[in-house]
Structure 1
């Protein structure tokens, strides 16, 4: 019973960490896209608005590899705890 409680609490904590990292990563990416748009010359800016540029970049981020890497928040601690339990027992 204690293991189930430990697993549930661990999963909840990992989920909170995952959400916080995801929010931070999206924020950093959005800020970088806004800076990239500001650095464009007037000719390149004329064809697209700032919001459209940022939204297109965020859509690319959603299907990107970096977003999937954040899922390692679940994998690495789980493997570490399983290895620790195996080694101790």
Structure 2
């Protein structure tokens, strides 16, 4: 019985380690996703701002911007122009 308990405890310890590792990977993935959204938001802001300053039509840019915002779940309220 003691041998079986030790085996269960070892398996439980292994599973806890795997859960901790996966939790860490998920946190890293979330951080990368947040940084990607910040970068894309910044790129959109810079491009749109430059186009406005040059008096260019920003409608041509809108399609690409909408796709990026949709893909990365960026809310237009987060963009400052």
Bin the TM-score by the shorter chain. Answer: 0.5 to 0.7
User: Is residue 9 from structure 1 mapped to residue 17 from structure 2 by the alignment?
Assistant: no
Q: Taking structure 1 as reference, are residues 58 and 26 closer, same or farther at Cα in structure 2, changes over 3 Å only?
A: same
The gaps in structure 2 that reach 5 residues or longer are 1-11, 73-81
Task: For residue 53 of structure 1, report the CA deviation from its aligned partner.
Answer: 7.1
CA 1:42/1:53 → structure 2, altered by over 3 Å: closer, same or farther? farther
The match for 1:42 is 55
- Structure number with the bigger relative contact order (C-alpha 8 A, sep ≥ 6) is 1
Q: Which runs of 4+ in 1 moved over 6 A?
A: none
Aligned residues: 57
CA distance in 1, matches of 2:25, 2:36: 16
Instruction: Extract unaligned runs of 5+ from structure 1.
Output: 64-89
- TM-score under structure 2 length normalisation: 0.57
Which has more radius of gyration? 2
